[in-house]
Structure 1
Amino acid sequence: MKLPLIITAAFLAGGLWAAEKIDLAKGREHWAFQPVTRPALPAVKAKAWPENGLDHFILARLEKAGLQPAPAASARDLQRRIHYALTGLPPSGKIENTESLITKLLATPQYGERWARHWLDVVRYADSNGLDENAAHANAWRYRDYVVAAFNADKPYDQFLIEQIAGDRMTAEDEARRRELFIATGYLSLGPKVLAEPDKVKMEMDIIDEQIDTLGKSLLGLTLGCARCHDHKFDPIPTADYYALAGIFKSTKTMESLKTIAKWHENPVATPAEKQLRAKHDALVAAQKKVISAFTDKANAQLLVSLKVEKLPAKPEEKYPKPTKDELTKLRAALKQIEANPPLLPSAMGVMDGNTTELPVFMRGDHNTPAKDKQQRRFPQVLSNGKPLTGDASGRLALAKWIADKKNPLTARVMVNRVWRWHFGRGLVATTDNFGFQGEPPSHPELLDWLAWWFMDNGWSIKKLNTLILTSATYQMSTTASPAALKADPNNVLLSRAPLRRLEAEPLRDSLLELAGLLDKKVGGYVWTFENYKLVFNHTSEDATTYESNRRALYLPVIRNHVYDLFELFDFPDPGTVNGSRADSTIAPQALYLMNSPLVLRATEAMAKDLLKEKKLTNAQRAEQLYAKIYHRAPTAKETERAVAFINNFAQDREASWQALAQALVASNEFLYLK
């Protein structure tokens, strides 16, 4: 019976069990912890096939396996693929030169919207808190817009990371830059929180844990959160390292108040003009109060004279003459009206430095059983020199710079792997959020390093990385698989062909509206208005959120615990956790949605009305227009014949017939899948 007490005493004395000591030197031998190198391009037999360096690595593996790459994709298929890859929208017009098309699309604002959505998956973006108190993140959209702007501006990825971790600690040359940096720190604040947790220390440690877990998975591909209660069971991350990191976030102010229902901190982001407007409003309020005060003083003086007394009664206003009462009522009503409509000073979810703190190891993650010694703030020892941080700052800026350093073996590898996965449906490391010992090893390790080196050498530019991948012969292959490839590479791990990929939820919805001529392409801002911190949805209330807006899906609210039904049906990720690789399901309700959804019906009705505007067109010509719009190709003679027959026989209502045909086309695999 005394054994648990002995173990507890030993733990509290040393902070860690001897049996749990980790061999850091051996841990550093893991492939992902090795420095990034620049491998030489491998020799290939088919020297005419590669278009750039990455093709050499793909082709060398195929040739080693006795396989040949698939033929090049048709111009139509490739253009459609590139449009969706870069903008999430369907092509229109004639086939263009591939390189010119890529350059053009990268310069559109729709590029930033498409790629921002990828990043928002990774950083668990949501417009509500979720968990016990689903309070509104009414200002989270500012962070979303920051991400859109960052991708459109091709902000270097290393700078992008530093701003999100420690923007508030960076020097800003002007007010606009200061606002941008404040907004960027929303990255650390967006996570779900148990806002009604009665144990306030536990609440704070849970928030810190979520921040560490998100930072580890999203930027380093490591499950750092697994070391909260004990040494990491698989990776060389001791519990001491976890609490050394936790000290950095304990020294950071994430919450404004822990009092139930707790409130997260928001940074002020008002412009000088907005501040000036608010100052004028406050001055107007103060002036009106002075008018009321002066009027009251005068009325009181008159009251003393009229009552012939030297001291006012307890309630002097009750003794005022009616005209005086009426005038005072008007003055107070005017004050109330002014006070009721103050110009709001905008704020954004984010963090700032708090009081510098160091934490002990908490046994089993329980703050009630702290170890004797505190862990000095530092970075994980397996990836750093383990030197403690000094100074009064939280350490977030130093942490951000360490992560963004070219010498960090994980940062560039993790990001190029994410970009590869977003283009090919599978990362070179299939476990995009886990590069640790339990993650899968890379299918093409030399290519991963070559890409990581190239990425850093090219200024951490994601636009350049996208161009490199999209102009490669690897990306431009068709989806056609040879019998030999199907046998030797059934899962296409070697990339013997391009992957056949279905449209994700957002491009599917946006494409329907775009083809219908209904899509509102305004960039930035918000469509969802809700009072900040107010409860949106929980088990006792109904969610009144609507999704009828014609803005892009990026701008629709993401409500934790109650995601939009289209999103949920088509594999939108859990917005409460890091997700760099969406699932890809095929289920019956998806087909039923395309058959019965008001969105699909509304979009296809608009397509039908547009087709019927030109009275002189024949049904065959209208069929050609519809195929060109939806499939980006002309129909075959057989398809035209069948379409005309369908229109003539489906219904007497011509609009209903064309609507039904349009719906059949958008529900087809040719529309839903990218070849």
Structure 2
Amino acid sequence: MKHSLHSITHLMLGLLAILHAMETEVGAAIDFTRDVYPILSDRCFACHGPDAEARKADLRLDQEGFITASSSEGERLVQPGDAASSILIARIHSEDPDSVMPPPESFLTLNPDEKATLSQWINEGASWGKHWAFERVVAPKIPQMDGVPPAPHPIDAFIEKTLSLKGLSTREEASKERLLRRVHLDLTGLPPSPDTLERFLSDPDPLAYERMVDQLLASEHYGERMAMEWLDVARFADTYGYQSDRFNHLWPWRDWVIGAFNDNLPYDTFILHQMAGDLIDQPTQQSILATAFHRNHRQTNEGGSVNEEFRVEYNADRLKTTALAFMGLTIECARCHDHKYDPISQKDYYRLFAFFNNTDESGLYSHFTDAIPSPTRFLYQNTGQEAEHRRAMEQIRTLEAEESMLRASAREPFALWLQNTTEKEDFILPPNNALVGHFDFETKEEKGYLNLAQADHYASLGDQPESIDGPTGKALRFDGENSASIAKVADFNRNQAFSMSVSMWIPEVRDRLIVMHHSKAGSDAGSRGYELLLEDGHASFALIHFWPGNAIKIRTRERLPIEQWLTLGWTYDGSSRASGMAFYLNGQPMEVEIERDSLYRDISYGGNTPLQLAARFRGRGFKGGALDNLKIYHRALSAPEMALATRQPSVADQSTEQPSDKPGWFDYWLKHHHEPYQAWLGKLQEARGHESQLVERLREIMVMGEIPGGRQTHVLIRGQYDQPGERVSAGTPDSILPFPEDWPANRLGLARWLVDRDHPLTSRVVVNRFWQMLFGRGLVVTSEDFGSQGAQPSHPELLDWLAASFMDTGWDVKRLLKLMVTSQAYRRDSAPTTEMTDMDPKNLWLARGPHLRLMAEMLRDQALSAAGILSTKLGGPSVKPYQPAGVWKEVSGATYQADKGEGLHRRSLYTYWKRTAPPPAMLTFDATTREDCVARRITTNTPLQALVLLNDPQFVEAARMLAQRMLVAFPEDLSAQLTFGVQCVLGRPPYPEEVQWLERIYQERLDSGQDTDESLESVGTLAWKEGLDRNSLKALSAVSLAILNFDEAIVRR
């Protein structure tokens, strides 16, 4: 603001006459939320709203206290009851470009009606209130108009009140045929069959329609229909997105959604399970599976990507989706600054962000393996598979429980055995019988350095590391880029015990150095295998299926010495537990910390994966470090064995302790001399191997899970992952609903907050979205934005009544939908009268029934259903129906291979959804890419859509098979064939003029001599039955294709 408030007093006098005139023209009372707040939000908040950084002249128009406060000169921006004395009014009427508001450079203006509204509001006392959507939901009384019988349906009572005020009359109820098709498509996504139509038309019972609604809500296809809407909101796809866009194995979550709707899971539970089904009391496999909702986001595996950057992006996506899906808010601008229009600060954003910031995940998925990004959950295909795995796990636990008893019973035999063993050299033998790799980097041949344990294996060199003097001869020094690799001898899986040792020279302490690893991937792309690292001077040893959630890792408490030769040994016992890992320094056990302890899938990778020393693709190599005398063993060495294996000649063991006193000697004796223990260990290893084999056959899916110990959250300056600012804790915007202090500050607490009875948004948003599904537009048109920039509700009292009723009756979705589709507003004929076209062209006031184009999925499903070729199988993996060649190749280099058989004709809901190349036919009809949460599809009309309906193999084949169905049903009666075909598609008999037109198409095609045209019959994979006249089929195919392109087939009236 270029002038202070007191500087414009001289403008006031010039406005007095205008304002006095306005005062005499006051109409209906002003409602602040409905009439004033939208004006302030749209024209003023960008410069004078919640965003402190964008705020001009330190002036706020979003807070009552600031608007009515007096300046030091006693002037007020708004003087309640006196518009003539209010500076706000002076500014909006000013003709001075330096004073007028909004300023010219904003390209925003106020029209005379809006200026009059602000003046009237002030004159009426300048009452204040929250934005309507942030007010608590309270059910208004059902309207009852004077002198008019009460409406039999609560929805109609609200709508008729508005229609009366608007002076609009209503249409009559739609025909039974049209109504049946409407409700069938809306509740199942499929058209009614001719048999269903006949039964419905012949039923004179006034309750026949209500019974039909109940049948449709009980149909398993209802869940599929409802899932169509939710998959857009949940941004579900079958691929990760971004550059590689590989398969993500998330389709079981889609099946959970279908089941949840079919089971009429209460909507509050639907939210709780998807947000935090892993954190509820007694979580089930299904509740945990539900949390895959927040793993549907795009993920990357592109080389060179920064793990933390994308981890932050994933959480930002979760927050964006949560805000839009459940609260109808666009919150993402608050990532970088305070929201310009809604009372959500940047700090609020990161307090919400903190609820998701504890997700135990990596920012990248694996580039080289098919590992499912953790956290994950096993999905058993049946109860038998689950029982088999549980038995395998129980057998392992039972055997492990036997160890303590075996050890106790072996103490006496051990003591007796010791009486005959006086020399420790006779007791402990070097573990050379387990040695599979020994590289002293002395003996070099053409293929590389010889393996002294197995002569046919070598250590090959990359870029020739330098040969230097080591502790026992020659060693290799690396520059951070060069390396050595050893094939075959170091291949181990998670249930195989192994040990290794190496002499090393560490030049300095660095944050991360690669000593060696056995994996296929770079350090930035989800490697699988095992690795030895130096992290800030500490040694770490990890076995990884997918980092971080499917891995075990230990780290030494103390740093390793630098600038001297040392020998480091490490062991793993094949238990898949971090407690089965150990470090030894110069033969002595080291204290370790467990960083990760959850390994449940294999670490091996197919192919010839070598053990690589000192370097890794996109990793920081062992720069300046040296290695010597590498040994590899195919079992876990005991402490005394490791002491022998790793001791250096200069530090030979001079101990005089007896075997019974030495740490680990009893363990050594058990494994090498005690037959009962050896037999038990063999059984345990066999049980672990069996369980590992079972696991490799189990399906796995990404779910949510918390990181042990949590993670700190900071406000990120300008939203950048690497610019942390103020530290914040999890919480919610007080402007919406304060977060109870005694609730858990995690995703479960956030989910409970969302479904709290006092939350102003959740119920309004979902009720509006269901209304949008049935009526084509929501009571709030901007179903994606309930904030101050969104549209006002057309029927605010109806919206609040529905939202309150929905919550107060148990969040019952089926009950709500039945309430909507049994209303007269829904059942009215959709054809407009001239009056309606003139007064309400968009049908905002609902004087006529809904009229909308079928969504992309319904268009295809309708065609397949009418043709009798639609597979009604429920659930299962995604399928690949017909698609133009080369679409995938163009965007990602992949080749699309269409399915065969049933997969070509399943419901569109199950179509494989590749984010970078969605199904092109459905994309043409405005399906989303599923890259982001979408609450409302935009409907377009393009010539390409007509080309799809006329030429796409899915529709042409459907037309062919509908023709066959018509001919088989009525072999000799063309009129009956045409009637049947129209009924299959449109759910009604044809009009006489339609019959004439279709007969003309049939005859023209029949007369055109198609007997030599084989192109039509070759479309699709389904063949016509033998014995049917081919010319009749081809002519009827043209007729069927025409019916599928009727306006009434494309539009739901």
1:659 is aligned to: 1037
Cα drift, residue 142 of structure 1: 1.0
**Take 1:266 and 1:509, find their aligned partners in 2: how far apart are those partners?**
36
Q: Deviations 1:536-578 (Å, cap 9, x if unpaired)?
A: 8784513425366211111111110101011111110230112
**Take 2:786 and 2:733, find their aligned partners in 1: how far apart are those partners?**
15
**Take 1:357 and 1:543, find their aligned partners in 2: how far apart are those partners?**
41
In structure 1, which of residues 184, 201, 205 is the aligned counterpart of residue 290 of structure 2? 184
Give the residue type in structure 1 aligned to 2:137.
Answer: V
Q: Is the 8 A contact 1:24 1:382 kept in 2?
A: no
Cα 1:236–1:497, aligned 2, differ >3 Å: closer, same or farther? same
2:407 is aligned to: none
Cα drift, residue 263 of structure 1: 6.3
1:287 is aligned to: none
Q: Pick the structure with more helix per residue.
A: 1
**Take 2:785 and 2:977, find their aligned partners in 1: how far apart are those partners?**
51
Report % sequence identity.
Answer: 30
- 1:53-202 counterparts in 2 under 5 A? 53-92=154-193, 93=195, 94=198, 96=200, 97-138=208-249, 140-172=250-282, 178-196=284-302, 198-202=305-309
Give the residue type in structure 2 aligned to 1:666.
Answer: L
2:965 is aligned to: 610
- 1:224-623 counterparts in 2 under 5 A? 224-255=331-362, 264-271=373-380, 273-275=384-386, 277=388, 343-354=696-707, 355-371=709-725, 373-385=726-738, 395-528=746-879, 539-546=891-898, 549-613=904-968, 616-623=971-978
Q: Deviations 1:130-174 (Å, cap 9, x if unpaired)?
A: 123312112x111101100010011000011000000000123xx
TM-score (norm 2): 0.54
Cα 1:389–1:135, aligned 2, differ >3 Å: closer, same or farther? farther
Cα drift, residue 208 of structure 1: 1.0
Give the residue type in structure 1 aligned to 2:1046.
Answer: S
Cα drift, residue 314 of structure 1: 5.7
Cα drift, residue 363 of structure 1: 1.4
1:304 is aligned to: none
Q: Is the 8 A contact 2:236 2:930 kept in 1?
A: yes
- 1:208-227 counterparts in 2 under 5 A? 208-227=315-334
Q: Is the 8 A contact 1:281 1:342 kept in 2?
A: no
Q: Pick the structure with more strand per residue.
A: 2
Classify the secondary structure of the residue corresponding to 2:715. Answer: strand
TM-score (norm 1): 0.83
Cα 1:669–1:452, aligned 2, differ >3 Å: closer, same or farther? same
1:672 is aligned to: 1050
**Take 2:53 and 2:986, find their aligned partners in 1: how far apart are those partners?**
63
**Take 1:407 and 1:428, find their aligned partners in 2: how far apart are those partners?**
21
Between 359-368 and 407-416, the greater mean CA deviation after superposition? 359-368
Classify the secondary structure of the residue corresponding to 1:612. Answer: helix
Cα drift, residue 389 of structure 1: 7.3
Q: Is the 8 A contact 1:376 1:389 kept in 2?
A: no
Between 178-187 and 79-88, the greater mean CA deviation after superposition? 178-187
Q: Deviations 1:620-650 (Å, cap 9, x if unpaired)?
A: 2222222222222223344334433432332
Classify the secondary structure of the residue corresponding to 2:338. Answer: coil
**Take 1:227 and 1:122, find their aligned partners in 2: how far apart are those partners?**
21
Cα drift, residue 438 of structure 1: 1.0
Cα drift, residue 277 of structure 1: 4.1
**Take 1:316 and 1:132, find their aligned partners in 2: how far apart are those partners?**
44
Give the residue type in structure 2 aligned to 1:39.
Answer: P
| Greater RCO (CA < 8 Å, at least 6 residues apart) | 1
**Take 1:641 and 1:17, find their aligned partners in 2: how far apart are those partners?**
69
**Take 1:195 and 1:136, find their aligned partners in 2: how far apart are those partners?**
12
Between 376-385 and 79-88, the greater mean CA deviation after superposition? 376-385
Q: Is the 8 A contact 2:891 2:917 kept in 1?
A: no
Gaps of 5+ in 1: 1-14, 285-296, 298-312, 319-334, 530-535
Between 650-659 and 105-114, the greater mean CA deviation after superposition? 650-659
Aligned residues: 605
**Take 2:969 and 2:779, find their aligned partners in 1: how far apart are those partners?**
50
**Take 1:570 and 1:432, find their aligned partners in 2: how far apart are those partners?**
20
Cα drift, residue 370 of structure 1: 2.4
Give the residue type in structure 2 aligned to 1:563.
Answer: P
**Take 1:379 and 1:600, find their aligned partners in 2: how far apart are those partners?**
49
Cα drift, residue 481 of structure 1: 1.4
Q: Is the 8 A contact 1:377 1:388 kept in 2?
A: no
Q: Rg bigger for which structure?
A: 2
Cα 1:218–1:50, aligned 2, differ >3 Å: closer, same or farther? same
**Take 1:485 and 1:45, find their aligned partners in 2: how far apart are those partners?**
24
Cα 1:520–1:241, aligned 2, differ >3 Å: closer, same or farther? same
Cα 1:540–1:664, aligned 2, differ >3 Å: closer, same or farther? closer
Cα drift, residue 375 of structure 1: 1.0
